[in-house]
Amino acid sequence: MVFLTNEGASSSSSTRRWKYDVFLSFRGEDTRAGFTTYLHKALEQQGINTFMDDKLPRGEEISTELLKTIEESMVLVIVFSKNYAESKWCLDELVKIVECREDDQMVLLRPIFYNVEPREVRNQLGNFGIALANHEKEFKDNMGKMQRWREALSKAASVSGSHYEEGCTTYKSEYDFIQGIVKEISSAIFNQRPLYDASYLVGVNSCVEAIKSLLDIESNEVRMLGIHGLPGVGKTTIANVVYSIIAHHFEGSCFLEKVREKSPNGSIIQLQEKLFSKILRDSYLKVDRESEGTNLIKERICCRKVLLVLDDVDNSEQIEKLLGKCNWFASGSRVIITTRDIQVLTTLPRNHLIYKVEELSPCEARALFNMHAFHTNEPKEDYSKLIEQIISYANGLPLALKVMGSDLCGKSIHKWRSALEIYWYWKAY
């Protein structure tokens, strides 16, 4: 399955905010009761925000509201079925879709040929030719509209897409075909989204690459990795970046933040429920007791290839309640645990992996502080001595550098000196 790429897209476009991940264009009479509804449900189950225009009233002309929805969608999926071209509404949608793709290279075009040959759509043959011939009788005084429809069909069908023919042996079933589409779209959306602001991540890339190597997502074995280090050294940030980069390779993924903070007073149940919500896409599943939640994890999640991150764990009991015996997960699953205390990781299987996050070097610390204090790595010269004192105080801890840099940003040198005296005072005590 090959889809259109986005070569030439500008980097500034990557910050664009989309209302919908996917817009589905389809002929309702052909596929609403089957294929398109199943595709819509499969996309939504993967957390892909999908617009399916099954509720808007149909009129002679496409509504302004629907045109705006197309403009606000990242991936434009066209389900070409046998009677697609019979609908003037669908053809108007298609014209808008092609225009959006031509106007914005960040928009992704995804044609699906469902029980039709791509050449039939591209060259307006068969049912497509008959439908357009009938439209020409109605629009003989508006051949410009006909030309736009024909060009849109030709352009959209010239994009390499996915083709399903009933009875074809390429796919085991329509279900497998849909899962393949969902996987491709999920990957495409992931590659489009700005996952983090790389300009403010100093000293992270080498850690991320080392962790990715340890996790080796191509391997089918279950791997568990503990990330440990001092408070404020960047464990959570690094785990977040790794999670963002590899999450789309798994059937389900969940990042449980601040486990240590949320565990007291029965809050572990809320973490278990979040796990079910993210992995199973079931926000209605409720847990009464922690032991019940642990058993449900074994029963409902063990058959899936998952990525789990338990962030800021401070005792082995939390791991047991959220991971059970640690041997319940399907082949290819990955578990990442961040902690200040390496002893917490002793509850993991003997072959678990360990990665220690080291403090930043003076050069890296200076770059990170400057980014937050000055939004550049070239600060004013008269601040240089104060900067060195602050870097010495922070001792290579990214969190301290970020907090102090943000706090001092835009302030006078006098206020910097006053703040520095306070920093040293608190460090002394």
Catalytic amino acids? 93
Q: Residue 155 contacts by C-beta under 8 Å, 6 or more apart in sequence?
A: 98
Quote the CA–CA distance of 132 and 123 in Å, as a whole number. Answer: 11
Q: Is 147 helix (H, G, I), strand (E, B) or coil?
A: helix
Q: Locate tokens 């009761």: which residue?
A: 33
DSSP assignment of 90-103? HHHHHHHHHHHHHH
**Rounded distance, CA 375 to CA 406, Å?**
10
DSSP state at residue 198: G
CA 397 to CA 232: how far, in whole Å?
6
Report DSSP letters for 195-231, one per residue.
-S-GGG--S-HHHHHHHHHHH-TT--S-EEEEEE-ST
Rounded to a whole number of angstroms, the distance between the first and last alpha carbons of the chain is 63
Alpha helices in 64-173 (DSSP H): 64-71, 88-103, 118-122, 126-138, 143-157
Give the Cβ contact number of residue 280 at 10 Å.
16
Q: For residue 109, report the phi and psi dihedrals to the nearest 5 degrees.
A: -105, 125
